[in-house]
Amino acid sequence: MAADRRIVIENCAIATVDGHDTEYASGHVVLAGNRIESLGAGPAPEGLDNVARRIDASGHLVTPGLINTHHHFYQWITRGLATDHNLFDWLVALYPVWARIDEPMVRAAAQGSLAMMARGGVTTAMDHHYVFPHGSGDLSGAIIGAARDMGVRFTLARGSMDRSEKDGGLPPDFAVETLDGALAATEETVRQHHDSSFDAMTQVAVAPCSPFSVSTELLRDGAQLARRLGVRLHTHGSETVEEEKFCHELFGMGPTDYFESTGWLGEDVWMAHCVHMNDSDIAAFARTRTGVAHCPSSNARLAAGIARVPDMLAAGVPVGLGVDGTASNESGELHTELRNALLINRLGGHKEAALNARQALRLGTYGGAQVLGRAAETGSLEPGKLADLVLWRMDTLAHASIADLSTNWWRLTTRSCTSPPRPTSTAPSPEPASSS
């Protein structure tokens, strides 16, 4: 759609998630091309030129599109296995299966994972893929192709592992890469697919898997590679007590200190989980503006613990939400993570003061944009930003009698998501049961 053609959405509640948490009980949004032109209370201004479509969004709440900051698409094909394991035992059980994936499997798994997110309001997705068995085909291309076909904005965190069973790691020997092979393949993926433009649909991050599955050389050289190429860095960190024990035994320090020693703290870095963080760790993340992908459902599924999200936010750590792999989440939907982030964090020491509904919504939108380095483009509804937004139906039986739509959005786990026309959102058309 040409930049001067407009779509007008009216008569809807709006939660902008801007710097002031501005909300409108009944308002409008004007879109021009793939940008938000204006928004505000009441109906849209009279006399707008070149209006291609006018949408009566009565009964809907408009929010920024949700942003997923940690996922493993390939795990879609191993849901429901090893359901009573901790992380290390779960990995030991599933690595022999994952080590046999190939390009058709990965593409099908990516399609399933992306579809589940898109139908639940995700407009920006990411995938941390780190399993590249020998002879498995172009797995990165398959994942990126699936995201392109789905129409979501996407970051591929091109992962890697070079520590296999023979090196004291967990993956089978034929499922890992060499140090030089991993670095070369990662650089080629960045050069072939990364787009640094404002409205990029595909970006690539450098993402060695974890401290216990990669060598120190791969972490250090990976960080140098990412900064030379001007892309972001992603990995798993401080997920379990077993990981912390591993780092102390092998490196003589905890995960955060180890990451800092290898160049893995900084505003261009985000880490998944970060469950076992002491005050010093949180201070280091805040000082360096290192981001966190909070995955509450997976943390509960694997009995990893409750991340100190309220303390991270209070310290100034950027925090977004992640689904994590569907083999440790099962549903693969991000909107349930908003609800679980709110509820699970209230089981910690802060109790009812841990998080409120608006903070949880911010984690799933603007917080995710911060973590992915795209807060200037998306994550909130503001003029000039990308038109990545979602209309949530609030006029169904599931939402009857709600007094405050913006603080009760978390009842949206009924999947009542309606997406606006394709040019105004990266989400696909709604399910047949949904209507605008």
Ordered DSSP codes for 371-434: HTT-TTTSSS--TTSB--EEEEE-SSGGGTT-S-TTTSGGGGGG--EE---GGG-SS-PPPTT-
The two three-digit tokens of residue 1, written as one number? 């759609």
The strand pairing partners of 315, in sequence order, are none
Between 355 and 77, where is the model more confident?
Answer: 355
Query: What contacts 20, CB < 8 A, 6 or more positions away?
Result: none
The confidence score (pLDDT) of residue 407 equals 60
* Radius of gyration from C-alpha coordinates of the chain: 21
pLDDT tens per residue, range 233-282: 999 999 888 889 989 999 999 999 999 999 999 999 999 999 999 999 99
- Above 80 in pLDDT, residue 216? yes
* DSSP bridge pairs for 12: 27
What's the angle, vertex CA 188, arms to CA 186 and CA 192, rounded to 5? 120
Categorize the per-residue pLDDT at 408 as very low, low, confident or very high, splitting at 50, 70 and 90: low
Residues 6+ apart with CB under 8 A from 301: 83, 328, 329, 330
In contact, 74 and 104? CB cutoff 8 Å: no
* pLDDT, mean of residues 405-414: 52
Residue 166 is predicted with a pLDDT of: 84
**pLDDT surpassing 50 at residue 57:** yes
Report the C-alpha gap between 328 and 393 in whole angstroms: 29
Query: How far is it, in rounded angstroms, from Cα 134 to Cα 171?
Result: 13
User: What six digits make up the tokens of 331?
Assistant: 């549903």
Residues contacting residue 214 through CB under 8 Å, at least 6 positions apart: 160, 161, 162, 163, 208, 222
C-alpha 124: how far from chain center: 7
How sure is the predictor about 411, in pLDDT bands with cuts at 50, 70 and 90? low
pLDDT of 168 reads 76
Secondary structure of residue 179 in the 3-state scheme: helix
Long-range pairs, 90-98, Cβ under 8 A, ≥24: 90/302, 90/327, 90/328, 91/170, 92/170, 94/327, 95/170, 95/171, 95/172, 95/175, 96/172, 98/74, 98/131, 98/175
Percent of the chain with pLDDT over 90: 72
CB-CB contact of 374 with 123 (8 Å):
no
Residues 206, 61: Cα–Cα separation, whole Å: 36
SS3 string, 57-124, reads CCCEEEEECEEECCCCHHHHHHCCCCCCCCHHHHHHHHHHHHCCCCHHHHHHHHHHHHHHHHCCCEEE
Helix-then-strand count for the chain, H and E = 13, 15
Span 204-232, average pLDDT: 96
Q: From 209, 191, 207, select the one nearest 91 (Cα to Cα).
A: 209
| pTM of the predicted model over 0.75 | yes
- Mean pLDDT across the chain: 89
Quickly tell me which residue has 């939108």 as its tokens.
365
Structural domains present in the chain: 6-64+381-424 (2.30.40.10), 66-371 (3.20.20.140)
- Angle, helices 139-150/103-118, rounded to nearest 10 degrees: 30
Asked if the model's pLDDT at residue 421 lies above 80, the reply is no
pLDDT of residue 405: 61
Residue 280's identity, in one-letter code, is S
Q: What is the pLDDT of residue 430?
A: 33
Centre a 10 Å sphere on the Cβ of residue 26 and count the other Cβ atoms it contains: 14
What is d(CA 424, CA 53) in angstroms, rounded to the nearest whole number?
11
